[in-house]
Amino acid sequence: MIRVVIFNLFLVSLPFVLYWGYISLVARKKAEKGNNWNEAPLALLLVAGVVLALSSLVYLALTNGFDPDSIYRPAEYKDGELIPARTIPPSPPAEAPDG
């Protein structure tokens, strides 16, 4: 879970980092020194970061997951060995006998 939180914080901060790199390059070419963050479109950068984070959460929700009918087996120790948690796919339905 912490990995997802850190990744989304990275996505929210990504537009700010890209903008910082952009204004650094522009300031270097113009040989200007000073605080260019006063003119930064902070609301737009924040909206872009939130959109990136939300889109990653939607992607994660749509691509990961298990079949709702699958069986979850938690991690367990067996014969001194740790068996990791897993999901077992549902068994196919039994066919009705003909007759």
The pLDDT tens digits of the residues spanning 70-88 come to: 888 899 999 999 999 988 8
pLDDT tens readout for residues 20-70: 888 888 877 776 666 666 677 888 888 898 999 899 888 887 777 777 788
> Does residue 97 lie in a domain region?
no
Neighbours of 69 (CB within 10 A): 8
Domain hosting residue 18, numbered range: 2-78
SS3 39: helix
Rg value, the chain, Cα: 25
Side chain identity at residue 95, one-letter code: E
Model's pTM, two decimal places?
0.53
What is the number of structural domains in the chain?
Answer: 1
